[in-house]
Structure 1
Amino acid sequence: MHFTLRQLHVFVTIAQHQNVSRAAEVLAMSQSACSSALKDLEQQYDAPLFERIGKRLQTNELGQRLRPMAKALLDQAAELELALKQHKEVAQLKLGATLTIGNYLAVELIQKFITQYHGSATLKVANTHDVVESLLNFDLDLGLIEGEIHHPDLQILPWQNDELVCFCHPDHPLANKETLSDKDLINATWILREEGSGTRQTFDRALHGLLPDLNVLLELQHTEAIKRAVKGGLGIACLSRISLEEAFAHKTLVPLNVPHRDFSRMLYVVVHKQKYRSTGITQWLNMCNLAP
């Protein structure tokens, strides 16, 4: 074996940032040392791994094919090093979660993971699009998402059921209606999640045929901001029941019944198909009752 882990680390980091100087900064190396490590790796096998486009480096076909394998090898080496240092297998995860899961489910899950497996985890909370991009770039080990996605490089595992609920302030004119009609939905003023979020995706699917006629006053990224806007009397909204349980219990917000529209959805755990299945990934999937 002629390549080194250091060369692979340089290759993977440059592929991630598409820039040698940025990769050198991340690796705490000089730019010349970083460039030399990549050059040595490419010359050893007469195998260019990047297309040079000005100051930016973009992986070529070979680089794209080898990057997941190199990253998996580095992940295994890191896990081996931790096991040697601590004399046991260590569960260590980089998680990404969409906003509803991140704000209302993820912390409890991480606590369970740490208690059960004595591991550690970091959490990035973002919308579905950003979590997926981070998974594809190998910045995350696992994603917990609300949106429906399809990508050939990702394994998408159905995890648990969820549903959205339309809601309003108790003093809103619609609060005492037994059920809402499509006319009510069109005449209402809406505060919605932003495009690209799993919640918005489910809402748009549920209200197909009505979307061009809806009066959308605000699009906000955070569920708590939407709830505050509704409490302030700005309109009605639609969010996951998970995020509304406390407000419904205290009657600061009230649910609206829209039985003829389907607001059900699935929550998913997502992992890159070529991601090395570390101890932490396997343990998390087991904890969620999902096959590794």
Structure 2
Amino acid sequence: MNRGLWSIAVFFGTFCVLGCGQTTPEKPPATETGVATTATDAGAGVELTVEADASTITTTDRLRVRITVRRPIGEPVTLVEPDWAGAGWTLVDTVDSEPRLSGEGLIERARTVVLEPFLDGVYPIPSVAVSWQGSGGNGTLASQPLEVRVESVLEADDDGVISPPSPALPPQSPEGDGLPAGVLAAAVLLGAGVVGYLLARPRPVDREPEFDPIHRLRAIADSPVEGESDLCEVHRAVAALEAECDTVALRALLRECERARFGPEDGERRGARDIAADALALLEVRA
């Protein structure tokens, strides 16, 4: 018999021996829709959207906020990170998506932040701002703040009062010492089930290593042959570096990447290795 099925059968038999008490179903997770706001600068062609995946969560939940910026090709913008801690949130993770073509002549970039609350109450999602210095002039765009309600997981009748201890049981007679045979058998079956489960469970899958933009740029710049995906990888690496250390030179390289990937077919395009070499040279100058 398969070890996994045998483990399940052993566990089922164990619970049958011990007896099953009544259980209270857990409260299902909230499925309420999220909240969002959008700001647009029509003259500059920049659009900023901030979306939270829920408008109400509990103190044990995490909130995901997606910040999406759409802008013209070759006109990078700088995202001003909100003060999440000042708003009461704990920043758990930040994930930047790869720039992609969104509509005619527009680039879309998104950042997803994962937040955790501490106590219940109403939490603000602060205003998010972006700024740019482009061929059409300088500008700034900010979103409207949002609110998310955080509810406690404690029940209404849980007032935090500690119940008094139960009275001590009278001592057993010598004849009553020791465990009943049924309990011992159940313990043996339970132990065997745990061992079977540990042997039959699948091994954890190795995670993909974290993307290292500098390492990737060096690999592409040193490669004798340019691969089909190298330009996409260089674009991703330069975008990650530009988000960390915003400089005029890196913004110019980001424009080069976007023109090479999304520009007109008959336009002048630079190769991935050339752009990677320029990016590495800029980093050496900054160091």
TM-score bin (small chain): under 0.3
- Larger radius of gyration, structure 1 or 2? 2
TM-score, normalising length: structure 1:
0.23
TM-score, normalising length: structure 2:
0.23
Which structure has the higher relative contact order (CA within 8 Å, separation 6+)? Answer: 1
